[in-house]
Amino acid sequence: MKTAAIIGGGVIGGGWAARFLLNGWDVRVFDPDPEAERKIGEVLGNARRSLPGLGNVALPPEGTLTFHGTVAEAVTGAEWIQESVPERLDMKQRVYGEIQAHCAPDAVIGSSTSGFKPSELQAGRDNPGQIVVTHPFNPVYLLPLIELVTTPANTQGVIDRAKEIISSVGMYPLHLKKEIDAHVADRFLEAVWREALWLVKDGIATTEEIDNAIRYGFGIRWAQMGLFETYRVAGGEAGMKHFMAQFGPALKWPWTKLMDVPEFTDELVDLIAGQSDDQSGHMSIRELERARDDNLVGMMRALGANDFGAGALQNAHDLTLETEAGLSRGMDGVDVTQPILTQSRVVPLDWTDYNGHMNEARYLEAYSQATDRLMIIIGCDADYIANGGSYFTAESHVRYLDEAHAGDAIEVKTTVIQGGGKKMHLWHEMFVGDRLVSTGETMLLHVDLKTRKTSAPAPHIETNLVKIAEAHAALDAPEGLGRGVGAPR
């Protein structure tokens, strides 16, 4: 079994422990903090909740986590040793002395340091070549970037082994072959941080306004396209040279407190434009734009699922659009003599599959959302659910009658077939314009969330549901109601 030792079990060390453990490694931890086991356990709980769902393939069986009273016990037999002690050079060098007195000579020792150069960490060590900087980002168990910084003391074998292990646990080793204080990513963060402090100090913007400028704007682009590729797209069809020619002179203007910039020469423009061509020249500007847009939609929808950042902004906007779309949040204004509009939206980019149309599972998701809307209309809303009552789906049957594509405007109209007692029997029809593309039949049961058993709904819920069911009973029976799989139409 592969074994990693974690020296220092704070937020970063705990994240490293989780990353290795959930990828099948045995993990040994040393931390003198008497609360270390509890703290790492809490970090690990979050990692177990989130990391397995990050990909589409099951993770290997979890390794074994053990805690040790000495550095010697923790590092003996480990092939990877991650140091995450406080940012004090004297402390780190003392720790390396103890590690190297007991670890295997071919073990890789990585440091989580955000500021010290590897040469500073290696100074005075008998085996400096096994020490490298492997700077992560929090949360380590989710964010994949590792800044791997080396010196000439590190052999190619050590570097290759470090890259191999980092990659094996789903992370990306960004190998910096030339050391510099604070590496690369934190230098960007420091520049933005300094400018943000000036903006706050000078009364230009509040901390919230600065955060909003990032999370509603360029931060989302950076998250999936970085800096240079973002600016390449901004240059349009003319590319990076055009962008730099247009905006490069602004580097000399007094926009920021950070005015120490390289001289804007033709050679620098050619260097950056050439590197940009190497990076992204295999794609046209339209292809880059489509990739950018798809990524932005996916990320913002993910943020919306957690009602956070730019996603929360979109959720708030959706609420303002509901009335215009004809969607209701109560019985007032609902025409119960007709099937009720419970969904009105556009098919998102990430709802389509390799056949170029809406994935079969997304129809069920749309019907689930339509059911949620019907529940809200009858009064089974967030407050009601918080007080212990809800409906659980017992059975569903979806028919796929025609195609829906990304960008299609879809509507779902819902008929209540049965609403008395514990049962709620719904019939959903999905339309693209006047075209019926699918039907979904769903049987739900009212449940007491405390006992997790079926129960009678609150009187006002049943009254509203029965009112709709009785009105809908006057409609023609839907074609396909009660149909089993494979039965003729």
CA distances to 150, 344, 438 from 80, in Å: 16, 53, 54
Is 12 marked within a binding site? yes
- Token code pair at residue 280: 């992204």
Single out the residue of 485, 463, 448 nearest to residue 416, CA to CA: 463
Q: Closest Cα partner for 88 from 115, 62, 68?
A: 115
Residue 11 is labelled as binding a ligand: yes
Phi then psi for 145, rounded to 5 degrees? -75, 130
User: DSSP character for 130?
Assistant: G
CA end-to-end span of the chain, whole Å? 57
C-alpha to C-alpha distance for 111 and 134, rounded to whole angstroms = 5
10 appears as a binding residue in the annotation:
yes
Dist CA 378 CA 48 (whole Å): 37
What are the residues whose beta carbons fall under 8 Å from the beta carbon of 331, sequence distance 6 or more? 377, 378, 379, 464, 467
Retrieve residue 277's tokens: 């061509």
Residue 139 preceded by cis peptide, ω within 30: yes
Tokens matching residue 316: 């708030």
| 228 vs 231: CA distance, rounded Å | 5
State CA 378 to chain mean position distance: 34
Task: From residue 155, give the alpha-carbon distance in Å to each of 79, 102, 132, 183, 385.
Answer: 16, 21, 11, 20, 60
226 is in an annotated binding site: no
DSSP characters over 248-296: GGGGGSSSSS--------HHHHHHHHHHHHHHHTTS-HHHHHHHHHHHH
φ, ψ dihedrals at 428, nearest 5°: -105, 140
What is the sign of the dihedral through the CA atoms of 113, 116, 117 and 119? negative
Neighbouring C-alpha atoms within 13 Å toward the C-beta of 114: 13
Is 8 labeled as ligand-binding? yes
Q: Which residues contact 187 (CB under 8 A, 6 or more apart)?
A: 180
- Scan for tokens 């500021």, then name that residue: 115
| Sequential DSSP letters for 146-175 | EEEE--TTS-HHHHHHHHHHHHHTT-EEEE
The reply to whether 220 sits in an annotated binding site is: no
Q: Which residues are annotated as a binding site?
A: 8-13
Q: Which residues are annotated as a binding site for NAD(+)?
A: 8-13
